[in-house]
Amino acid sequence: MRVGDRISVTCQDLDDDGAGVGEANGRTVHVAGALPGERAAAVVEHLSRQSPAAWARLEAIEAPSPARRAPACRAFGDCGGCLLQHLDYPAQLAWKRDRVARALGAHPTLEGVRVESCVASPRPLGYRNKSKLVAARAHAGGRLVLGAYAPRSHQVVDLAGCRIAEPPLDETAAALRAILDEAGVRPYDEAALTGDLRHVVLRANHAGQVLAVFIVARPLPDGEALARRLRQARPEVLGVVEHENRTRGNVLFAEMGGAGERILDGAGVLEDQIDAGGRTVRVTLSPGAFFQANRAVAGLAYAAIARAAALAPGDRVVDAYCGVGGIALALAPDAAEVVGIESHAGAIADAAAAAARAGIGNARFVAGDAAAALAAQGRADVVVLNPPRKGCAPAVIAEVARLAPRVVAYLSCDPDTLARDLALLAARGYRSETVTPFDMLPHTPHVEALAVVRRAGA
């Protein structure tokens, strides 16, 4: 097989990035856009030097899968966000469940762990409460667009009409695009280091209100006037914030020292709420705060964590990687004390503010490294882990085991690091009972999963 060869491949599965996978000429071939059960005509674009693997560009579907569907978004195929829109939704859920099961199956100590069916999103479309948009010109001298990078490139795809975002976000983006273009705002050019506007982040809450964040290389000329125009055009926009990011590269929010932040008009934070099994959890969201993108599925996961914890009035809960405190605040009414740990100081401030607004006095929040903050805790009856994609550091697992909670609820955004960490917990006397996948981001390869882990003999 050589680069440029035209091949025919029958796909048996999807890879972790959502591309079809099959065998051809003794190689495992990955074809983006092809589905399991389909025979695809493709052109080889890359051959691995380390393994018998190849990547090919889809030219035609010679035999389609009965699970193939027409994509909802006109940008499908160009935008790299929702790579599975062409796959029937029940088939997506089945694949995600199998994806988690395969990851656990790579660890012999996890044999027998029950993987439940993937919990569906109540809304497979229009669910995403946050839009991250790149500012660019459609072409030299062309109109301004707000979009996303195409896969493996820095070409910006216009996301006007995005079907994944909650409706207020696309409507706000359309109004803002026209205002910025009319004002002659210059998109940032990362190669030439010219221009001002890098990204726009829009966040919507349960009531359809929006917080807009302009991420800029330098303050926008007449930024306050632009913010006022946006709020006049779209009254649901509660506030506009300017975040100055002077660093190079594509990091969205700069660390302090490379950034400055100011309110251009209106509010600087957004209040949101989640229904967690009939309990309303209210959170405060500052511009750079992490919060689950699918509010409804987050509520289902929070309720499942509460059921697994089965808290008694005297119980002490430690929530590591707590973000803005959503899970900690959901558990606080049933516990004696809840301690939230998070490295992002802004998120800790958001969590403390939300607790104060809700009158929750038994929750406190600590900013710092997860392992170090866990080491400062004397005991825990329940530990919640919700780490980033890289999972928990070994020192975190060691501290969790030292605290000896009767149950650990581990909410993961990466099946492979989840399986790795569950195996480490198993070596320390913790038995994984069930793992339940949640479809936090429909039409993407992403899968969230909740593992319920109990101490032997507890």
Q: Which residues are catalytic?
A: 413
Q: Under a CB-based contact definition with an 8 Å cutoff, are residues 88 and 67 in contact?
A: yes
246 sits in which H/E element: none
CA–CA gap between residue 320 and residue 42 (Å, rounded): 46
Cα 166-152-2 angle, rounded to 5 deg: 140
Angstrom distances, CA of residue 292 to CA of 272, 310, 412, 432:
11, 23, 12, 24
Angstrom distances, CA of residue 44 to CA of 16, 24, 30, 53, 54:
19, 11, 9, 11, 7
Q: What residues pair up with 272 in beta bridges, in sequence order? A: 283
- Of the candidates 355, 299, 346, 368, the one whose C-alpha atom is nearest the C-alpha of residue 328 is 355
Estimate the share of the chain in helix, then strand, then coil, as percent rounded to the nearest 5: 25, 35, 40
The dihedrals phi and psi of 160, each to the nearest 5 degrees, come to: -60, 130
Q: Under a CB-based contact definition with an 8 Å cutoff, are residues 206 and 168 in contact?
A: no
* Contact partners, residue 32, CB within 8 Å, separation at least 6: 17, 18, 19, 20, 57, 58, 83, 151
Q: Under a CB-based contact definition with an 8 Å cutoff, are residues 148 and 210 in contact?
A: no
Q: What is the largest CA-CA distance in the chain?
A: 69
DSSP 8-state secondary structure symbol assigned to residue 64: -
As a dihedral over the C-alpha atoms of residue 316, residue 321, residue 322, residue 324, rounded to 10 degrees, the angle is 160
Q: Which two tokens stand for residue 194?
A: 């010219």
CA–CA gap between residue 196 and residue 198 (Å, rounded): 6
Q: What residues pair up with 201 in beta bridges, in sequence order? A: 132, 213
Instruction: Tell me the H-state helices in 316-445.
Output: 326-331, 345-358, 370-375, 394-403, 415-426
